[in-house]
Amino acid sequence: MSGSDPGGDEQSNERPRVDDGGSDAGTADDRVTIEDDGVVRWFLKTDNGTVVFARDILSSVAIVAVIGLLLFALSGIWPPLVAVESGSMEPNMQRGDLIFVVAEDRFVGDDPVEGTGVVTLETGEETGGETFGQPGNVIIFEPNGDPTATPIIHRAHFWVEEGENWVDTRADDDIVGDATCEDVPTCPAAHDGFITKGDANNGYDQYQGGAQTDVVSPDWVTGKAQYRIPWLGHIRLLFDSLFGGVLTPLAGSDVVAPGGTTIVAAGLGSIAAVGRYRA
């Protein structure tokens, strides 16, 4: 018979824990230690105030990242959300609306322009397809194809071909008035593309409109607006007014749409991941 202490079969196998100051009931930090449980388990389980705060921050960032990746997968464009700051697309896009934007080839409507995913207002009037209260897609494009310029968000009204006298053949007389092709610098069309206009503007972007751009080549189109969430964009706009644009680190993300619709590109949940668009 081996010499063992009485009651040895009842002896606990637990390692002793370090007490934090003599309290009768140990805290979670007493029960979970780096030495016994490793850094990862300790970080996930400890009730240390500083670690809990850091853990909450990392959890929030992780959730935002996952949602952002899901939205990116759905939209095919980054950032997938923009906040409307001003008014050239009113009443169909209001200041403070949050807009979900997608790549040109996503959510394509009936009878888009061949080689693009864009349905024009002219076509939408025939097929019945509407976005943001009117026929046709609202597109985001680089004015004059300049990648360093502020992008524009306006509606594609109709498609023209290179050399076409679009003022006489396609333009709405209520918009161009008595103007002829000779009066319009962008007529005849220098290349195939879209004639665009802000819903609240009086003129086409290619003539007396807000954007002051040539006919919009398909190569200049970077996306199209898909859905709006009223008022949610005011949160981003508030931060921008408070911090004067210091929370806009995305290079090349400023988008100005003349005539007035400013939109702020918003990475969901992350106020810092925000740029500006003007329509």
Instruction: For the full predicted model, state whether its pTM sits above 0.75.
Output: no
Q: What is the pLDDT of residues 183-239, one digit of tens each?
A: 999 999 999 999 999 999 999 999 998 788 999 999 999 999 998 888 776 676 666
pLDDT per position as a tens digit, 92-103 = 988 888 888 898
Distances (CA, A) of 265 to 7, 32, 85, 140: 70, 43, 10, 12
For residue 53, the model assigns a pLDDT of: 83
pLDDT at 182: 94
Q: Which pair of tokens denotes residue 88?
A: 């050239």
Show me where the domains of the chain are located: 28-75, 76-278
More reliable by pLDDT, 69 or 54 = 54
Residue 234: Cβ within 10 Å count: 16
CB 194, CB 155: distance < 8 Å: no
Q: End-to-end alpha-carbon separation of the chain, Å?
A: 91
pLDDT single digits (tens) 71-122: 667 767 777 887 777 688 889 988 888 888 898 888 888 999 999 999 999 9
- The mean pLDDT value of the chain amounts to 76
The predicted structure's pLDDT at residue 138: 95
**What is the spatial distance between Cα 229 and Cα 109, in angstroms, rounded to a whole number?**
21
The answer to whether residue 33 scores a pLDDT higher than 50 is: yes
CB atoms within 10 A of CB 131: 21
Which of 38-52, 82-96, 153-167, 252-266: highest mean pLDDT? Answer: 153-167
244/238 Cα distance (integer angstroms):
10
Distance CA 230, CA 200 (A): 18
The structure tokens 């679009």 sit at 166
63 secondary structure, DSSP code: H
Distance CA(274)–CA(81), nearest Å, equals 9
Determine what percent of the chain falls in helix, strand and coil, rounding each to the nearest 5: 30, 20, 50
